[in-house]
Structure 1
Amino acid sequence: MTSLRQMKMRITTDDQKFPGMKKFKVHGKELKSLPRSLFSMLDLEVLDLSPERETCLFFQLTSIPKEIGQLALLKVLILDTNQLKSLPEEIGYLKGLERLALSNNLLRSLPSNFCKLRALKSLHCSNNQFRDLPEEILNLPDLVFLDFSNNYLMELPAAISNMSNLQTLLLNYNQLQELPESFCQLQRLETLWLSSNNISSLPANFGKLSRLDWTRWCTSSALDGNPLRNPPMHVAKQGPKAIGQYFKSKQGKNVVER
C-alpha cells in the first residue's frame, strides 16, 4: 500500500501547462486500483488520471471513487482515455474546478450534481456516447470552451442560449440535423466546428454570430461534410456576414414576391 508520505513526494509544481500548481499524475497499474491515500492529499490542484498512451490498452479506469469529492481545491481534473460509463455525484463537490477532461470514454450522461461546477471554464467530452447535450451543463456561467465532437448528438436544446459566455464550441462528427434559432444568441462565439453532421439549413439569424471568422481559420472544420443548401456552402464558407446578407436578401425577395 502506498503511504500518504510517498504520494506527497510525487507532487510536482513544474508542469509548463499548469505552472506553480500542485499536480499529481497516476501511472500504469495504479489506475486499476487507485491508492486510497490519493484522496487524502487535500491540497492538490491538478489531478491527472489519464493513462499513458503506450499502456492505455492495459490500464484504464472503469469508475471514479466517490472520495474524489474530498479534493475540494482541485482546479484541473484529467480523465481522458479510460473506460468510464458514469461519474459519481460527488464530483459536484469540486466547486473550484475550472477544467475537466472526459474525452475518449463511454459516457452517455452526467450526474445531476454536475450543475454545481459553477467555476468550470473548459469541458472536454469528445468521443463518448452522448445522444443529447446534458442539461446539467446549460447553466454553467463561466464555461467558455465546450467540446462534444465525435458523439451521437441529433439535436441541440433551445436552452443552449443560456451558455452565453461560450467562445469555443466543437460539435463536429455528430448527427445534428439543424441548429435552434436560439443558437444565434451565442454571440461571444469565436470558434465553431460543425463539420460532418447532417445540417441542411442554418438559422436565419446566424449572421449575428459576428465574432466567428471562417475566412481566417480552417473552414473544413466549420461546415464541410454537411448537406448544406440554405445558404449554399460557398456562401456559408465566407462567414457570418455573408450568411446574414444571404438571408436578408432572401427575406427581401419574399416580400417583393408577395
Structure 2
Amino acid sequence: MHTLEDLRTGRLHGITRLNLCQNLTHFPQEIFTLGDSLEVLDLSGNRLSELPEDLHRLNRLKVLFCSNNQFTHLPHAIGSCQALETVGFRSNRISRVDAQALPPSLRSLVLTDNVLEQLPEALGDCAHLQKLMLAGNRLTDLPASLARCHRLELLRIASNRLGALPDWLLLMPRLAWLAYADNPLPHGFVAPATDDHCPTLHWQDIHLEEELGRGASGVIHRAHWRGQEAPVAVKLYKGAITSDGSPLAEMSACIAAGHHPQLVRLAGRIDDHPDQLPALVMQLIDAHWSNLGGPPSLDSCTRDRYPADRQLTKSALSRLIRGIASVCAHLHGRGLSHGDLYAHNILFDEDGQCLLGDFGAASFHPQEQSLAASALERLEARAFGILVEELLACCDEQDTTLKRLAERCQQTDVLARPAFNELVALLGDRH
C-alpha cells in the first residue's frame, strides 16, 4: 500500500503499480507524475465518484481497479485509455455503462455487485473481451451484440433478473466458464426443491477448531463432530455476493452434487447456527493433497498458472484426467454445471488421485434432451479440453492421443464437442 505522501515526495518515481486507499474523494493529480511508467492503478476502498477526463495521460495504464467506491456510472474517461485491458469497478452504485466508457483494448471487465439494469450494444464491439463479470446486478437480458465477442471465455451473470439464457450465448465459440445461478430462469435451471439425501446435523454437536481457510463465500474450520473420531471440516457461508454469485446457491449446488469419488464427501448441513449462518460439514482433506494449479493472473486473464516445477508422470496424468471426466459426467447427469473447471479448483496427489472443489460458479440445467442441456455440457467440455492441454504441458511424456482429444473439446462448433460420458468412454478405452 502506498500513500499520497509517497507520491508528493517523489519516492514512487518510475513505479509500475500504485495502490492508494486513503478515503479519497478526488483523484490525486500527483498520480500523473507516473504517466510514463504506471501500468496498474488500484484505487479501491475510497469514496471516489469521478475520474479526470484526461486519464489517458497515463499512457501505459493496463489495469484499473476502483472497487468499493461511490461511482454511479462507468467513467467515460476510461474509454480514451488506449492500453487499458483490465477494468474493475466491483461494489459501487453503477447503474449505467455507456459506449464511450469502453476502452479499445478491453480484455477483462468486472462490474460485480452494482445496480446495472442494462448494458450497451457497443459491448459487442470489444473484440478482445475475454472475461466479463456481472454477478449481483439487475440485468433482465444481455445485449445480442455480445455474440460478436468471439474471444469471450469467462462470463458471470449469476444473481441477476434474467428470465432466459439466449441460444446465441450457449453457442459462443470460446465460452468455457459460465455462471448463471440465482436468476428467475425456467424450470430445470434452478436447484431441486428437495435435498432429502443430505442429513441435517445440529450445531450443538459441532466444536469448531482452527480456521483452515477463507474465501469470498465463507470460512472453513477444522472441527470435531460429537460421536465421531475423525475430525471434519465445516464451512460457514456468508451472505454477500461473490464474483461468481450467491453463496447460498453454491451451498445448494454442493448438496445437489451428491456422492462421487472425485468430490469432497459431504456429511450434512447445519440449519440451527446461533447466528443463522448456513453451514456444511464435510470430509477433512489430508494435508498431502495440494492444488493442481494457481488462479489466473492479470496477464493470463482466463488461464491458470502452474508452478515451474510442476511435473506429472504419464500414469498420474491419465488417472487425473479420467477422474475429472468422470466427476463432470456425474455432475451433468444430475443437471449441474460446475462453471469453474480449473486446475486451481482441483486437489491432487502425486499419483494422480484428485478431488474437484469450489462450487461457487455452479449452475443447474435441464436434464432432458434440449439445446440448452447439450450446449451447457459441451461448453464445460471446452474447459476440460483447456485443462487437458495445460496438464499435457506438465507431463514428462508426450501423448498425441490426449492432445487430439483436447483439440476436439475446444473446437469452435459447440455441439460437435464430445459430451462427458463419451469422454469417459474414450479415456477408459486407453487402458
Q: TM over 0.5: same fold? A: yes
Structure 1's 122 and 156: CA in aligned 2 closer, same or farther, altered over 3 A? same
Aligned to 1:60: 47
Inter-partner Cα distance in structure 2 for 1:5 and 1:154:
43
Letter in 1 for 2:32: F
Secondary structure of the residue that 1:166 maps to in structure 2? coil
1:45 to 20, 27, 39: 39
2:58 to 52, 71, 78: 71
Alignment of 1:111-126 (within 5 A): 111-115=98-102, 117-126=103-112
For residue 33 of structure 1, report the CA deviation from its aligned partner.
3.1
Contact residue 78 and residue 102 of structure 1 kept, 8 A: yes
Secondary structure of the residue that 1:160 maps to in structure 2? helix
Aligned to 2:139: 153
Aligned to 2:79: 92
1:135 to 100, 121, 126: 121
With 62-71 and 75-84 compared, the bigger mean Cα shift is at: 62-71
Inter-partner Cα distance in structure 2 for 1:242 and 1:104:
29
For residue 9 of structure 1, report the CA deviation from its aligned partner.
1.6
For residue 185 of structure 1, report the CA deviation from its aligned partner.
3.1
Alignment of 1:13-28 (within 5 A): 22-28=16-22
Inter-partner Cα distance in structure 2 for 1:242 and 1:79:
31
Deviations 1:198-256 (A, max 9, x none): 11179xxxxxxxxxx636845663324xxx657489x95995259979xxxxxxxxxxx
Give the structure-1-normalised TM-score: 0.71
Aligned CA-pair RMSD: 3.3
Inter-partner Cα distance in structure 2 for 1:12 and 1:129:
37
Identity of aligned residues (%): 25
Q: How many residues align?
A: 213
Aligned to 1:101: 88
Alignment of 1:151-230 (within 5 A): 151-200=137-186, 214=337, 217=341, 221-224=361-364
Letter in 2 for 1:66: E
Q: What are the ranges of 5 or more consecutive residues in structure 1 without an aligned counterpart? A: 14-21, 52-58, 203-212, 246-258
Contact residue 110 and residue 134 of structure 1 kept, 8 A: yes
Deviations 1:113-165 (A, max 9, x none): 234x2211111010011111232322111111110000001112222211111
Secondary structure of the residue that 1:146 maps to in structure 2? strand
For residue 175 of structure 1, report the CA deviation from its aligned partner.
0.8
Structure 1's 183 and 7: CA in aligned 2 closer, same or farther, altered over 3 A? farther
Secondary structure of the residue that 2:41 maps to in structure 1? strand
Secondary structure of the residue that 1:192 maps to in structure 2? strand
Q: Which one has the bigger strand percentage?
A: 2
Inter-partner Cα distance in structure 2 for 1:151 and 1:232:
31
Structure 1's 137 and 158: CA in aligned 2 closer, same or farther, altered over 3 A? closer
Aligned to 1:18: none
Structure 1 runs of 4+ off > 6 angstroms?
2-5, 242-245
Contact residue 39 and residue 67 of structure 1 kept, 8 A: no
Letter in 2 for 1:98: E
1:240 to 371, 377, 381: 377
Structure 1's 184 and 68: CA in aligned 2 closer, same or farther, altered over 3 A? same
Inter-partner Cα distance in structure 2 for 1:92 and 1:102:
14
Aligned to 1:36: 29
Contact residue 110 and residue 136 of structure 1 kept, 8 A: no
Secondary structure of the residue that 2:125 maps to in structure 1? coil
Inter-partner Cα distance in structure 2 for 1:241 and 1:32:
47
The higher radius of gyration belongs to 2
Secondary structure of the residue that 1:138 maps to in structure 2? helix
Contact residue 121 and residue 144 of structure 1 kept, 8 A: yes
Q: What are the ranges of 5 or more consecutive residues in structure 2 without an aligned counterpart? A: 189-327, 329-336, 342-357, 381-414, 417-431
